[in-house]
Structure 1
Amino acid sequence: MKTEPMRTLTISLSPQQVARLHDAVESGAYASNSEVVRDALRLWEQREEIRLLEINRLKRAYDEGMASGEGREVDAKTLLAELKAEIRRGG
């Protein structure tokens, strides 16, 4: 598997972001500024993957709910009584 060569990009950061980046390198937590940015991008990619998984889970739950049949209106007092009865039945 052939890997692509690293590319150089120009990015703009706030003074606070630059200071944190330099602190991370100076503390020894990272070897270079590029390593900090690559790690940040990996974390962003993970967050995006989790977000997409959650969206898909919500879509499935919505579809299951829609397929479960006609809904009904219920007031809070009735709902609470039904939930308590279900708990007493062991459900």
Structure 2
Amino acid sequence: MADRGRMTVVFPEPMAALLRDAVEAGDYASTSEAVRDAVRLWSERRESQSLARLQGAWDAGKASGRHGTLDFEALRGEGRTRLAARADDTGREG
């Protein structure tokens, strides 16, 4: 059996009644099992939302910049040009 952490949780009476009703209906063997199922569902929803946010950030990043093959020689040249311009502006190199 997996390690378990013991907790005491207090529910408002309407929620407690829903848990007891689910056990009495045979949906769950105990209120603890019902709560574990609820926490599993909550955890899955959080993970799904996190994945959706990550996918959105990925898509936004791809849409915001250059795409395609990167020409490192051209990129190096662009960097050198910017560095030279900065050196001209400040009167010194780098």
TM-score (structure 1 length as normaliser): 0.67
Name the CA distance, whole Å, in 2 between partners of 1:12 and 1:29.
21
Aligned with residue 13 of structure 1, among 11, 14, 17: 11
Distance in structure 1 (CA, Å) of the matches to 2:52 and 2:19? 31
What CA distance in whole angstroms lies between the structure 2 residues aligned with 1:32 and 1:3? 18
**Runs ≥4 in structure 1, deviation > 4 angstroms?**
none
Tell me how far 1:61 sits from its aligned partner: 1.0
Structure 1 unpaired stretches of 5+ = 70-91
Once the two structures are superposed, the pairs formed by residues 10-89 of structure 1 within 5 Å of their partners are 10-68=8-66
Q: Give % identity.
A: 34
The residue identity in structure 2 corresponding to 1:31 is A
Aligned length: 67
Distance 1:11 1:3 in 2: 20
Aligned CA-pair RMSD: 1.7
Q: Which protein shows a greater Rg?
A: 2
